[in-house]
A and B are shown apart, each in its own frame.
Chain A
Amino acid sequence: MIFSRELWIEIGHTVIANPLRTALTGLSVGLGIFILVVMQGLGFGLQNGVQQDFGDEASNSLWIRTNRTTLPFRGRQANRSIELRNADKEILTEKLFETPLHSARRMLWGSTIQAENEEGRFAVVGVNEDYDQLESIPLVSGRWLHQEDVAQSAKVCVIGQTIVDDLFKKKNPIGEYIRLRNVTFRVIGTFSRSGSRWTNSMALIPITTLQRVFEGADQVGRVIVSTGDRTVEEASAMASMADGALRTRHAVHPDDQRAVRVEDNNEEFAMYQRIFMGIRLFIWVIGGFTLFAGAIGVANIMSIVVKERTVEIGVRKALGATSSSIVILIVVEAIALTSISGILGMIAGVLTLEFVAPFAEHDYFSNPAVNLNVTITALGVLVLSGALSGLAPALRAVRIRPIEALRYE
């Protein structure tokens, strides 16, 4: 019965014949969904933006760096240079704790890089093979550094998109030889992180190669270690462990903030998570109220509509309509009206986001995608409330005797 063509023709008829009511229902549902979709989209965009800004680094890592001391300690002067060396990294990653990924990162700024015809100044960066994962850098072509490259101090490099564009133009750089600080390296891969010129201006080489070829020393620059699947608390404990160990090894005052620094991305990430939670909660609350208002609107209209149609219900009954056929008519009509308006609202919302997105691209706002699950749930809620709010007065109207309906004023 619900799917009979006859019923739909009958419904189409009443829907078209009552434009004001149709428009009002459509508006309260469509607008509700529209607002919800746009709010969701904007919230999602905000979250996306913040996350992208943050997502340059994997969220579960510690960044360990050192600098000159600011406090004297154990008979040593302040302003003493503290350097992280191979031995430090080894102690951290092999003795102190378990870590699935770790890398050094030593940067040589303003390094001249020459290709066949072009040259430019970029950063040569010594890293371990895990670096790309710790920084989640997308590979474009070729391959990343392997463990063997690091073990053998191979003269290979993975270069960023800016270097590719500047030195190679349209040419494929893979397998080509370039000169980094006058030493020849083979290009094995290229990478690109959208929007980050800084990252894209780096030529990554094995840390061992950097130490041997360019410095003849064993500094590692920074040490990045993954905290694996540790909880925030466990990661925090790991960070203090690293911090304590380095301070002991290098005789750094416990209060010296600059000499040894261990940044825990987990904590930062947890903070962002809380912000996201806040944003999401906000969206839910707003969305909830919008839905609630929409549902009340629909319920109101439906109950008025059914009241208005009481005489018509009486007439239909006199003409042989059963109560159930009338209830089905009204409920299916309510469902059809609310779902069509809801879908229109959804489409309008999606189009608005599509239209707005290019204008709103910002560090903290990107890709305001529509959460389809949420939207469909919201639509479901509105359709259900439309159906229920049609059902209640329809049941009331058909329960009375036909003559009462006919006499209804």
Chain B
Amino acid sequence: MLSLRSIEKSYPLAGGQLPVLKGIDLIIEQGEMVAIMGSSGSGKSTLLNVLGLLDNFDAGSYHLDDVDMSELSERQAARYRSRFLGFVFQSFNLIAFKSALENVALPLFYQKIPRRERQKRALAMLERMGIADRAHHLPSELSGGQKQRVAMARALITTPRVILADEPTGALDSVTSNEVMDVLREVNSTGITVIIVTHEADIAARCDRTIRLKDGRIIEDGNSSEVVEPTAHGISPIS
């Protein structure tokens, strides 16, 4: 369970502070599939990064399974990222000089799992993503969809509790986007919490729950089918 209480965060700005998160209260239960929506600059990525322990926050509290995340040392935070969290980025963030297989295996390196075992599990994960035949290709030799599958395989290889995806389909066409969503749904069906930041209503529609941010506040939180309703909230169809 992820639990945020009155989370505030601002970025230092020339001549002051830019408040980005202005008191976020949010509880996400294990196994939920949640979309975070909102216009550009509303604080979606910032929120996701706080959830992913990639960024700190100024005030409020964040508990992951009743453990206070603000108390963690740098090393403990790394351990949480390694054991509990998986990331999928819009720009894939694959390591350019490592093959697909090595990229996928890398998180296991930080869990001190032996090389042979890493490779075996990485290959199995690529198989599950349907791109085992690309295992020895470099990221530059892969299509966007394939890259995102590698990235998802990498996020999933440690069987995390939570997958955090910041616009995972932002760089992909609609067919590929759908395939990525298929994977994420399937992942979610195994009990992994999936949190997706997205601009796209179709993507949000494939989640169970949608949270809408505006100016660093949650203005809506509910069943996707209700929240995403474009006409009711005037969401721009442009991503």
Contacts and interface: CB of A to CB of B under 8 A. Distances in A.
B97 A17 contact: yes
Contact of B74 (A315, A320, A323): A323
A323 to B, nearest CB: 6
Given A402-B54, A406-B54, A317 B109 contact: no
Contact of A10 (B79, B94, B107, B109): B109
B106 interface: yes
A111 interface: no
A401 B74 CA distance: 10
A321 B78 contact: yes
Interface string A303-347: 000000001101111111111110000000000000000000000
Nearest to A7: B109
B110 A320 contact: yes
Nearest to B154: A319
B234 to A, nearest CB: 30
Interface of B: 49, 52-56, 74-75, 78-79, 81-83, 87, 89, 93-95, 97-98, 102, 106-107, 109-112, 115, 154, 158
A148 interface: no
Contact of A9 (B75, B78, B115): B115
Nearest to B78: A322
A14 B97 contact: yes
Nearest to B157: A319
Interface in A263-294: none
B115 A319 contact: no
13 contacts: A6-B115, A17-B97, A316-B110, A318-B93, A320-B81, A320-B110, A321-B82, A322-B79, A323-B74, A323-B75, A402-B53, A402-B55, A406-B54
Interface of A is mostly: helix
B87 A325 contact: no
A13 interface: yes
Nearest to B49: A403
Given A13-B102, A17-B97, A319 B55 contact: no
B54 A319 contact: no
B109 A322 contact: no
Nearest to A10: B109
A322 B89 CA distance: 20
A315 B110 contact: no
A18 interface: yes
Interface residues of A, number: 25
Given A6-B115, A13-B97, A320 B75 contact: no
Please name the 9 residue pairs, one residue from A and one from B, whose CB atoms are nearest each other, closest first: A320-B82, A17-B97, A320-B110, A403-B54, A322-B78, A319-B107, A402-B54, A403-B55, A403-B49
Contacts of B95: 312, 315
A100 to B, nearest CB: 70
B34 to A, nearest CB: 19
A187 B19 CA distance: 105
Contacts of A322: 74-75, 78-79, 110
Contacts of B56: 401
Contact of B83 (A320, A321, A403): A320
A316 B106 contact: yes
A312 B87 CA distance: 14
Given A6-B109, A9-B115, A403-B49, A318 B54 contact: yes
A277 B173 CA distance: 74
B156 to A, nearest CB: 12
Contact of B111 (A10, A312, A320): A320
